[in-house]
Amino acid sequence: LPISMKFAIIFVCFAFATCLIAEQNTEANVTGLGECGTYNLIKQVGFPSSAWNVMTCIASLESSYNCAAGPHENSNGTDDYGLFQINSGYWCSGPGTIANGCGHPCSDMFQCQTNAQCALEVYHQQGFTAWATYNNNREYCESFTVNC
């Protein structure tokens, strides 16, 4: 190959690799999991299969699948955090904490995995009705179908 062609090939390869690296870095910093990412996380942390669609619906309504949502202040002085809007009153250590049912500071609830694991604990103790968004949208969530 002529030398100019070799440089062109090297340039294209370098540009492509740089784009791939930039894309990977962007993906790593995204806090919104989307519907399928949330659904897969729910499965991964151990929710029963009968809860997968409903919990995905709850995450959609609570945070728009955003692990960094909040804190949102409630009228009782507690705050809600992350993907499933975990409440500081009973589930994490933060404003208005009475109990720390998940054993984490509320700042950890911005981590998708930790938030979902805490949501599983909430679910085991209180079911779907722990989330006001479920109670206010029960029919919608019960018929919610994930499209992955």
Query: What residues are labeled active site?
Result: 62, 80
Nearest to 120 by CA among 88, 84, 147: 84
Site of tokens 């949501």: 119
Using CB atoms within 10 Å of the CB of residue 104, give its burial: 0 to 12 exposed, 13 to 18 middle, 19+ buried. Answer: buried
Length of the chain in terms of residues written: 148
C-alpha–C-alpha distance, residues 72 and 45, integer Å: 24
